[in-house]
Structure 1
Amino acid sequence: MAGKTPIMSLIPSSWFNDPTKSSIWIVGYRMVQVAQENFTQSQPMIDLGDVRAIFNYGSLSYMDASNIFEFEQDHVRNINYSKFESKDTNVGGWTILITPYMSDGVQRSESETRNSIIVAEGILSALNSPNIVYEKIYENIVELSPIKTSTFSPTFLTTNQPPNLQASALQLLSQFSVNLQALPENMQNRVILSLRWYSKSLVQGLDGFLTGCQAKGNGTDLE
């Protein structure tokens, strides 16, 4: 996108005084169930707190690192830097969220920056349509002067605990499942919920899972 529309034209002038010491966090989402005629303005944009939301019909350019990891024998992970590459999307509807990352030499934390994006994404999804942020396509950081784009590699769970495939360890897992089924229903539900929390937290963080539980509104998952 930066090569098609000057990135500085998308940023509120109040965000930065010195572009040489500033950067933005930019996330692009596929928008579905829209066509070009639904865009009554060429590139509408709104501000959601410290996030600017831009709605675009066309194609986007971005940096991609989703394929830089390659697995070899015994699943040893290697990095292929040649797979860090510029990509262009298909033509369609897109939502772009941008927020300050470094402002005049002062950098926000990654968690604070991501939370700003997540809140804006939630506003758009809840009050407009989930299809307006249907699929996240990319997440880049753009340094503003000179323009330099970086991106994120896929994340992996890292632990020093190897799988235990001994017969006794596998039997322990099987016995745990049997014991779980024998618990009173209320206790069984608590253990199952804890296991779900743990599993979800490995990939999306505990906050995301708890929010999902609360959004169901029936309360049964939190008993």
Structure 2
Amino acid sequence: MKIAASGGSPNPGAMLDVESNDRGFVPPRIYLTGSFMQLNGTTPTEGTVIFSNNWSGDGSLGGLFVWKNSQWGRFGESVRTPTSYIKLIKNNDQIVYPGEQDVSFDQVSTRQQPIGDTPMWSQANPSTVFIWRKGWYFVSASCRMEYVFMNKPRYISIMHKRNQVTAVGFNNNGYGNVGNNVTLNTSTMIYCEENDEINLSCYTEDTATIFPSGLLTTQMSVTQLPTNLF
């Protein structure tokens, strides 16, 4: 079928051919509130097109959208979903006791997530990065420990779903009354499923202090690796 002021035959490759020299096509107007919003209580059909008139905040939920791969993608930006990444910083000292415990963070240095995703980190869970999209992630972490005395080792490990993936440690083999400050570093790649959790864990055999000393030495970065480069 063809809709045109001048009439004529429709394009043979089109079910609906709309032609005009001075008018546009107006798609349904929807106030989109997130990337996974349903329409009329129902999951949209693949290829559904809407125009969202939600220009609040940074305006990222406004414009022409298409439903693809179980989410809304804005035209011009829907070829690939932005990768997720976050870098957390610890600025405050933390007392750690014998055994294993998580390192808590207090600042987001940088973060990027697809529109509508729940934040990967919050003050309510200061030691946990939540993964909302499955895929491969590169994780790196460092932790500055104060006064590591002789035969009082310190370890840090990257944890995935409470399982240790990689770890690094230090044991002062010097004099018993001399303590060294040490910054431990480790990194790894992890395949994550939705709702997985990543933590930085610390192990010590005596009471110790994580001592960032304002040097940005205690941090954790979690970066999703892209799967569609073009």
Same fold (TM over 0.5): no
Which of the five TM-score ranges fits, normalised by the shorter chain? Answer: under 0.3
- Higher normalized helix content (fraction of residues): 1
Q: Which has the larger radius of gyration?
A: 2
Q: Highest relative contact order (Cα 8 Å, sep 6+), 1 or 2?
A: 1
Scaled by the length of structure 1, the TM-score of the pair is: 0.24
Q: Please report the TM-score for the alignment, with normalisation by the length of structure 2.
A: 0.23
